[in-house]
Amino acid sequence: MLQKYQEHIDALAKELNCRVDQKPGQIGMMYVEFGYVEGPSIKTQADYLVNLHELGHFAHGHTQGRPPKQKEKFYFENGVLKSEAQAWNWALDRCIDKIQDASRRFMWDTCLGSYYRYGYLAKRGEPDRLWNGNRHHVEFVYDTPDVYFDDTVKRIQGDLKNWIIKL
């Protein structure tokens, strides 16, 4: 199945005209304004989903204002939580396999939930910057979770319970 995952990522990237840079253990990151995304070499379904998620950012045009393209900051203007939810929905819509429980836990507890817990809840309307992926150039305030965000969380979590990050 891992080969099918990779072939699917390659086909979607070609369709989007997006370069995908992969290496073992690579953290997912999008550089939409520069025409590429980064993701892990696919060893698990979660790795596949990370790559799909980053391509979702690319498909939605989630630019992040990195120099010299400071004016291209749609990811922040759209709302960080909304942008993250959009990319996860894009990934889930295109996933070619049944989502495994371990992948669900990774998507929420490690990925989307971290923006909610360590961003939205921790900052409570205070300005913030994202320091990973050279994204610190744009100061922003986290958007408030809405029905779209909540529906995305429910979609990711499925019927599982006992999450590390509580909604």
Residue 135 located in a structural domain: yes
For the stretch 50-90, pLDDT in tens is: 999 999 999 999 999 999 999 999 999 999 999 999 999 99
* 18 touches 55 (CB < 8 A): yes
The pLDDT confidence band at residue 22, using thresholds 50, 70 and 90, is very high
- The reply to whether 167 falls in a domain is no
Instruction: Give the C-alpha separation, 148 to 124, whole Å.
Output: 20
| Per-residue tokens: 43 | 């060893």
Number of domains in the chain: 1
Residue 165 resides in a domain? no
**166 within a domain of the structure (yes/no):** no
What does the alpha-carbon distance between residue 35 and residue 27 come to, in Å, rounded to a whole number? 17
Residue 112 lies in a domain: yes
Q: How do strand 36-40 and strand 19-23 relate by DSSP bridges?
A: parallel
Range of the domain at 23: 2-157
* Global confidence as pTM: 0.95
Encode pLDDT of 10-19 as tens digits: 999 999 999 9
The answer to whether residue 121 sits within a structural domain is yes
Q: Average pLDDT, whole number, for the chain?
A: 95
Rg (CA), the chain: 15
Asked if residue 136 is part of any domain, the answer here is: yes
How far is residue 81's CA from residue 155's CA, in Å, rounded to a whole number?
A: 15
